[in-house]
Amino acid sequence: MQPLPETRPLSAFPGVPPTLFGLVSRYSPSGQEEEATAWLVQHMQSLGFTQAFRDEVGNAVGILGDGPQSIVLLGHIDTVKGELPLRLEGDRFYGRGTVDAKGPLAAFVDATAAVGKIPGWQIVVIGAVEEEADSDGARFVADRYRPQFAIIGEPSQWNRVTLGYKGTAWFEATFRSPASHSASSRPSVCEAAFIFWDSLLKWTQAYNQDKERQFDQITPRLRGFCSAEDGFSETATLRVGVRLPCEVSPQEWYRRVESLFECLEGVECRLQPTGYAIPAYRAEKNTPLVRAFLQSIRAVAAAEGESTSPSFTLKTGTADLNIVAPVWNCPAVAYGPGDSNLDHTPEEHLSLTEYRRAVKVLERVLREVTGS
């Protein structure tokens, strides 16, 4: 077993950019981001940011420039749980958060520092907390900034731009009925719960029948089940999460779920939404920000001697883009180095070549949209 990240200095990882190493080497699962945010604030100060501070909810914020117009680069500094030993194998840097999403956040910092102050503009880099939980950091900044452009830090690979993420909603469905003898012909309350679940799956399968892309489908998942009885009544509870397409809002989803209760006679049914329901979001393709990314990816590819062309992707998960973009109502996309298939895995790693290319793309994008 190799030593864990904080015991090994940057010199042990030749070629790893200091910003990327500094973030990844500080383990920061949701709710434990203090050390990483404190380091990032100090690091942005050392890079010459006009301001660098921790805001009221613990986000690390760096502002470069003091103009009336702004660009917000919103990454997240928290990770899922599970600290990984750092290691460097050739071009690949392994560690928790290299992909999701300290790699993109580090790229934001390095690109902003490289561009420097742009007259008339503020470039705001935010390392948000709690993205892997309830997105407390993004919810806080959504009402505090009104940027002209927004870039959300999530892995897309250096030559792709993410235009959208599905929505999400959670609920608990509780079923209750008077206790009955085990020899009774009436379905038990546990059976009633699974009759409901089967009806829900059949409805979503019918909805998805003509939807080829997973981004356009409703995808429910059963996440928990429990039951109890006290001699007088029996209860069963299902815990369900769903990924929703743009065409179905969380409110519409809840209404459809409740309508399926009608198939259960003699059973008291109750639906309780839990957590935050988040609608899906899809950005427009024809915006100055998207055009800047396409031009910048082509330019970097040409300079690197690469034959790759820029492309778009739609993600089946949910990100802070869903939260801030509808509020800010400005051109917004998600972008960052890394393969999202490695999110949350023990083999999470980032190509350093890809990281450097993403930084170059971001530098060009910032100059392009600001006209500098």
pLDDT in the model for residue 210: 96
Task: Summarize pLDDT for 300-333 with one digit per residue, the tens.
Answer: 999 999 888 999 999 999 999 999 999 999 999 9
Q: Where are the domains of the chain?
A: 5-165+281-370, 169-278
Q: Residue holding tokens 């404190």? A: 38
State the architecture of 169-278 in CATH terms.
2-Layer Sandwich (3.30)
Task: Summarize pLDDT for 80-110 with one digit per residue, the tens.
Answer: 999 999 999 999 999 999 999 999 999 999 9
Contacts 24+ apart (CB under 8 A), 210-213: 211/245, 213/314
Residue whose C-alpha is closest to residue 294's, from 185, 190, 163: 163
Average pLDDT over residues 66-83: 97
Q: Identical fold at 5-165+281-370 and 169-278?
A: no
Task: Summarize pLDDT for 32-51 with one digit per residue, the tens.
Answer: 999 999 999 999 999 999 99
Task: Summarize pLDDT for 166-196 with one digit per residue, the tens.
Answer: 999 999 999 998 876 454 556 789 999 999 9
- Both structure tokens of 350: 């980032």
Give φ, ψ of 232 to 5 degrees.
Answer: -110, -35
| Residue 159, pLDDT above cutoff 70 | yes
Residues serving a catalytic function are 78, 131
End-to-end Cα separation, the chain, in angstroms: 49
- Band the pLDDT of 229: cuts 50, 70, 90: confident
pLDDT in the model for residue 49: 98
> What CATH number matches the domain at 5-165+281-370, 3.60.110.10, 3.30.70.360, 3.50.50.60, 3.40.630.10?
3.40.630.10
pLDDT in the model for residue 129: 98
- Band the pLDDT of 262: cuts 50, 70, 90: confident
pLDDT in the model for residue 4: 41
Q: What percent of the chain has pLDDT over 70?
A: 96
pLDDT in the model for residue 185: 57
Residue whose C-alpha is closest to residue 163's, from 280, 74, 58: 280
State the average pLDDT for the chain. Answer: 94
Task: Summarize pLDDT for 337-352 with one digit per residue, the tens.
Answer: 999 999 999 999 999 9
